Structures are given as structure tokens and as C-alpha cells.
Amino acid sequence: MADTAAKLANCFQAASIDAVAIYEQLFAKCAVGETVPYDSIRAILGFDPQSNHGRSRIAAARRMARRESGYIFETIPNVGLFRLAEREKAAYGAKYIRRAHNAARSGVVALATVDPSKLDDSEKTRFNTVTSQLGAIAECTSVKATSKIAAAIEKSQCKLALSQTLAVFAGKENGESPK
């Protein structure tokens, strides 16, 4: 048992050392618009960076780059990682909205198969809670909702607070919070 734990600790330590090396030797030195090729990452790792072990180390190095330097890297399949400029970073977040929307819709579709009459009261409460949350996420991340928020932001010329965003969904003009 102790031998297995030691091997596991060494594995995590090696992964961490690899991620730090990728960050320090490649990502931290990468200029905006440059690509870090997978071949350079392979030279550090000593194995295929596109394998499961390689991807986890790259993901850790990307998190370091974002946290320590504010750098965002986009994957270019079979080539490497491209460092984004500010405009590209600003647009990068939209993919997370699409992911959240699709995940929420998938959750709602999956929960539509549940027969609530076969649940006890606490299960029904949890079911209804999750269904409501997923429905709200799906609705708030739709193309129509994005257009409503964009219109309110264009009028205010700044980010909306949560209460203002909710007011937009409630049909209040300009995202003004209800009094």
C-alpha cells in the first residue's frame, strides 16, 4: 500500500514538474500571436503531448499561464497552442456560453425522461430544483437572451450587475433594477 502511494505521489510530482517546465520554458516566453508547437512540448515531456498524460500537463500549464501571466492559449489541432491577443481573449468567453447552453439543454432533455410520480418528496424537490435551474441556464444563455443583454449593455456602455441582468430578462427597460 505504501509503495502504491509513493508511486502515485511521484506521478503527481512529475506531472507538476512537467507543467511548470512547459509554462516557464514555453508559455511564459510566448508572444501574442505566436504558436507553441506540440514538438516543443514533446521535447520537454519526452512523450506525445497529445496523449492523455500530455493533455493533462498542458492543461495545468495553461492554467498557470492564465493565473500567473494573464495569457490565454487556444488549441490548434495537431499543431500546438496559439497565444491570444486581447480581442481574441474577449471573444474567447463566448464558447463557454455555448457550452453552458448546450449542457443545460441536454440536462433538461435527460430530466424530461423522469417520472416524478415515482419519486419521494425530497427527490421531487431536488428534481424540480435542478430542472428549474437547468431551464433558467438554458434560457439565459440562448441567442435571444444574449441579444437582450447586448442591447441593454449598448445603452449603458458597461457590464450589467446581476440584478440589472435579471431585470432585462424580466422585461424591464434598460436593465434597471426593480424598485
Domain residues for the domain of 78 are: 2-85
Are 79 and 120 within one domain?
no
Last residue of a domain, one of 85, 112, 127: 85
In the structure grid, which three cell numbers stand for residue 50, read together?
A: 497529445
pLDDT attached to residue 106: 96
| Total structural domains within the chain | 2
Last residue of a domain, one of 85, 118, 140: 85
Check if the beta carbon of residue 72 is closer than 8 Å to that of residue 59: no
pLDDT attached to residue 105: 95
Are 71 and 105 within one domain?
no
Last residue of a domain, one of 85, 114, 136: 85
Are 64 and 97 within one domain?
no
Domain CATH code at residue 37: 1.10.10
Tell me the CA distances in angstroms from 101 to 48, 74, 96, 171, one per residue in order: 33, 21, 8, 21
Are 15 and 71 within one domain?
yes
Are 155 and 121 within one domain?
yes
Tens of pLDDT along the chain (179 residues) come to 556 555 445 554 566 889 999 999 999 999 999 999 999 999 999 999 999 889 999 999 999 999 999 999 999 999 999 999 999 998 888 888 999 999 999 999 999 999 999 999 999 999 999 999 999 999 999 999 989 999 999 998 888 898 988 888 887 655 455 44
pLDDT attached to residue 136: 92
